[in-house]
Amino acid sequence: MISLIPNPRRVSLLMIFLAIGILLWMGVVSLHFLESFLHESDRVEHSWMVLTSVDRLFSELQDAETGERGYIITRTTSFLSPYQSAVKEVRGHVQDLENIVSDRPGQKARAEKLGRLVNKRLSLLENGVALGEGVSPQNRVALLTVMVRGKEIMDQIRQVTQSMKSSEYLRLRRRSLQFFRTKKKVLPFVGSGLAASILMIGLSAVFLSREIDRRLQAEQKARQYGDEIRNLYDYAPCGYQSVDEKGTIIRINETELVWLGYQREEIEGIKSIFDLVSPEDQAGYREAFQGMLRGEPVRDLRLQFLRKDGSRLPVLLNASVIRGTSGKFMSTRGVLLDMTEKQKDEERILDLNRTLSERNVQLEVTNGELEGFSYSVSHDLRAPLRAIDGFSRILQEDYTGKLDAEGERVIGVIRSNTRKMSNLIDDLLAFSRMGKKAFSWSLVDMEALLHEILPGVLSGSERGYAVDVSLSALPEAWGDRTLLTQVWANLLANAVKFSEKSEKPTVWVEGETIEEDIVYTVRDNGVGFDMQYYDKLFKVFQRLHAQAEFPGTGVGLAIVQRVISRHGGRVWAESRPGEGASFHFSLPKRNGPAV
């Protein structure tokens, strides 16, 4: 009787022979595709060699141009070395490129054309270097001609190189598509053959062994990750806790245990979260807890927890519910932040706010007193001054010829000082009101503004119209036009006044934008000042020159500084005695009015 059960040995041999046959067939097919791959790879490598050679050629040619220009501009021989090196490299790259594309007629023709253009360019570079050694006008004209012709040649070279690169990129695209098609053919063959061979020769045991090894490694890594996550959970800079539906704490991290002063065995499974919440926060937390069970997360809830020693711990709680795949409640997940320092900061802020409020009240009282002082200066002081000036004028008019020269001089001194006192009061009031005036923002045309105020400034000076004022282009700026008018008037008046005694008094006004600021400058060729007294320059009533020599009240520059400070800018000056002075002020560059 013939047995129908196949012989395992024969089946195994049959499967092995079949596997060997499949592997041999796969080998033949793979060799065919490998040969195709290698062929395409060589062609791709060839295209990249062409592209690289073109780029290197053009780069070295640009380096040669740079060396030539550096030598022509500086006549420094140090530029000749990189120039000569670049020229040598260019010739080598031209030869390499012609060799690479010798098997392709189209690219070969372009390479030959490129070689001719490069030779022309190198010849022009040599001419430029030779012409750069001379300084005669004829050399300069010839050099300019050489440089113009060189640019034309470089444009032609750029066109040829771009044409060569475009051709190579097109070839690369076609070869990439060919690679993709070949890959689509190879992968099914290799994949199916490999699967069949693995199935037939019984390599499943090897893979199973490897899988077991991988599983063991994965378990070891999982334990490591678990330890790391546990460590991260326990020693995070915030508290973590989980509670069950009844509020019993089932999990808590070490950070929170340290905060509360408990041991883990005193908390987990024993303490209720409600035991840790302070009595005054119980109602709010129970309401939030019930909402959390309904699916409403707790967000930024401020609480006080009770430590083991009875002290309070201010915390910020965020919590939500963890549910299983069926939607059943598992536990809560809560995060606590220690608010101790924040609470201290809030208390400090409240103290600062109270202090600020008290100082605001004091400031209001002081402002009231200053307003009263301004009123007194404006009214109470002006009346006696007007009386003194009036009576002295009557004496001067009615007793002309009756008083001796000394009497006339004394009356003149009285009237001069009353006028000086009146001007001083005006400037003092203007300075005190400067900080109260409301801003009226607009984009100010500084040039137009100076043309408006300059005639008034010049007419108010003894030699005003003899002063030469040079105005450069001035950028526009955002600011209060009225206040900026006062700034320009004060700076120009000072420049005119202190330069009047020069043989040819001159004032320069300039402006420029520097990074985020617009800087304006008023310079003169007047008497200047000593910089060692600079700290007095912008203070009220501080003068660096004698009243008899240069009259004034010493308030103008203080007003300038206050106005520019209110605009968010700054004021500064430089000078030397007898060499004039430069006053600068800056305004922030803005796109609109300051908020």
- Mean of the pLDDT values across residues 463-489? 85
CA distance 416 to 227: 92
Q: Are residues 260 and 328 in the same domain?
A: yes
- Assess contact for 112 and 100: CB atoms under 8 A: no
pLDDT reported for residue 104: 79
Cα–Cα distances in Å, from 65 out to 68, 88, 140, 142, 312? 5, 13, 17, 17, 78
Q: Determine the 3-state secondary structure of 443 from DSSP.
A: strand
User: Comparing 22-31, 339-348, 447-456, 578-587, which segment has the lowest mean pLDDT?
Assistant: 22-31
User: Comparing 291-305, 348-362, 453-467, which segment has the lowest mean pLDDT?
Assistant: 453-467
Q: Are residues 134 and 115 in the same domain?
A: yes
- Assess contact for 75 and 133: CB atoms under 8 A: yes
- Mean of the pLDDT values across residues 419-428? 62
Evaluate if residue 545 carries a pLDDT over 50: no
- Mean of the pLDDT values across residues 203-213? 58
* Position 443 confidence tier, pLDDT thresholds 50, 70, 90: very high
pLDDT reported for residue 15: 61
pLDDT reported for residue 546: 43
CA distance 572 to 378: 31
Q: Are residues 291 and 369 in the same domain?
A: no
Evaluate if residue 419 carries a pLDDT over 80: no
Structural domain includes residue 228: no
Write the Ramachandran bin of 327: left for phi over 0, alpha for psi from -120 to 50, otherwise beta.
left
CA distance 535 to 528: 15
Q: Are residues 313 and 349 in the same domain?
A: no
* Position 74 confidence tier, pLDDT thresholds 50, 70, 90: confident
CA distance 85 to 60: 9
Q: Tell me which residue of 347, 345, 319 sits closest to 334, measured CA to CA.
A: 319
User: Which amino acid belongs to residue 361?
Assistant: V
pLDDT reported for residue 196: 63
pTM listed for this prediction: 0.38
Q: What does the pLDDT look like over 20-55, one tens digit per residue?
A: 766 677 667 667 666 666 666 667 777 788 778 778
Q: What total number of domains does the chain contain?
A: 4
Percent above pLDDT 70 for the chain: 73
CA distance 117 to 94: 10
Evaluate if residue 473 carries a pLDDT over 80: yes
Evaluate if residue 476 carries a pLDDT over 90: yes
CA distance 35 to 45: 15
- Mean of the pLDDT values across residues 93-113? 79
Evaluate if residue 172 carries a pLDDT over 70: yes
Q: Are residues 138 and 249 in the same domain?
A: no
pLDDT reported for residue 165: 80
pLDDT reported for residue 105: 82
- Assess contact for 396 and 415: CB atoms under 8 A: yes
Q: Are residues 51 and 70 in the same domain?
A: yes
User: Which amino acid belongs to residue 289?
Assistant: F
- Mean of the pLDDT values across residues 208-216? 69
User: b/e for 490-507, b at 16 or more Cβ within 10 A?
Assistant: bbbbbbbbbbbebeebbb
Structural domain includes residue 468: yes
Q: Are residues 441 and 542 in the same domain?
A: yes
Q: What does the pLDDT look like over 484-503, one tens digit per residue?
A: 988 898 899 888 888 887 88
* Position 548 confidence tier, pLDDT thresholds 50, 70, 90: very low
Structural domain includes residue 232: no
Evaluate if residue 547 carries a pLDDT over 50: no
Top pLDDT among 35 and 352 is at 352
Q: Are residues 334 and 352 in the same domain?
A: no
Q: Are residues 445 and 481 in the same domain?
A: yes
Q: DSSP letters of 160-206?
A: HHHHHHHHHHHHHHHHHHHHHHHHHHHHHHHHHHHHHHHHHHTTHHH
Structural domain includes residue 225: no
- Domain boundaries, position 568: 437-588
Structural domain includes residue 495: yes
pLDDT reported for residue 456: 81
User: Comparing 180-189, 234-243, 498-507, 557-566, which segment has the lowest mean pLDDT?
Assistant: 180-189
Element (H, E) at 590: none
- Mean of the pLDDT values across residues 129-133? 70
Q: Tell me which residue of 577, 578, 576, 584 sits closest to 557, measured CA to CA.
A: 584
Q: Are residues 322 and 455 in the same domain?
A: no
CATH number at residue 540: 3.30.565.10
DSSP assignment, residue 380? I
Q: What mean pLDDT is reported for the chain?
A: 77
Q: Are residues 369 and 496 in the same domain?
A: no
Evaluate if residue 120 carries a pLDDT over 60: yes
Evaluate if residue 132 carries a pLDDT over 90: no
Q: Are residues 259 and 116 in the same domain?
A: no
- Assess contact for 498 and 527: CB atoms under 8 A: yes
CA distance 445 to 163: 53
Evaluate if residue 133 carries a pLDDT over 70: no
Q: Please, which contacts does 250-255 make with residues 24 or more away whose CB atoms are closer than 8 Å?
A: 250/331, 251/331
* Position 390 confidence tier, pLDDT thresholds 50, 70, 90: confident
Q: Determine the 3-state secondary structure of 532 from DSSP.
A: helix
Evaluate if residue 518 carries a pLDDT over 90: yes
Evaluate if residue 374 carries a pLDDT over 70: no
